[in-house]
Amino acid sequence: MKVILLSDIKGVGKKDEIINAADGYARNYLLPKKLAVEANAENMTKLNNKKEAASFKKDVEKQNAEELAKKLKGIMLKLKVKAGENGKIFGGITAKEISENLKSQYNFMIDKKKIELKETIKALGEYNVPIKLFEGVVADLKIQVISG
């Protein structure tokens, strides 16, 4: 019997997957516990519509991420920090501070987890910081750290 899984089942399959289950297993376990529905024409149409909607949503998100990447490419984020005589910063600049400054200076809402800063910035100068906006969309943000 062909069924569409409604949730992940270990050893059987993932959610929204169409599997061929034994008749008894499907009728006595999967269907009564609402872990699956029969793969009839109506349910297949619902599944296809759901997949198309998810695909469309993903395409829109990727397009928005690409537009944001273009905007980020054209800016130079300036951060004023206190520094010693030799150019070392007191403390350091973290992904959280970069995210907050992007919001305050340019009104870009970027989660600090998306900013791929290998280690905190501890010296004055210019840096390129990659920001992973979406699957396959990475923007390089130019940051200038100046003494202030």
CATH code where residue 37 lies = 3.40.5.10
Q: How far apart are CA 29 and CA 9, in angstroms?
A: 12
Q: How far apart are CA 130 and CA 113, in angstroms?
A: 12
Same domain, 89 and 139: yes
Same domain, 96 and 51: no
Residue 135 has a pLDDT of: 87
Section 99-116 average pLDDT: 90
User: Does the global pTM surpass 0.75?
Assistant: no
Same domain, 60 and 76: no
Same domain, 54 and 81: no
Question: Which of 144, 116, 132 has its CA nearest to residue 68?
Answer: 132
Each residue of 122-135: b (16+ CB within 10 Å) or e? eebeebebebbbbe
Token pair, residue 11, equals 């050893």
Question: Which of 35, 32, 28 has its CA nearest to residue 3?
Answer: 35
Same domain, 59 and 96: no
Task: Kindly report, residue by residue over 60-103, the tens digit of the pLDDT.
Answer: 999 998 998 898 888 898 988 888 888 788 888 899 999 998 89
Residue 11 has a pLDDT of: 92
Same domain, 33 and 56: yes
Same domain, 89 and 134: yes
Same domain, 44 and 92: no
Q: Which domain holds residue 58?
A: 2-64
CATH code for the domain in which residue 136 is found: 3.10.430.100
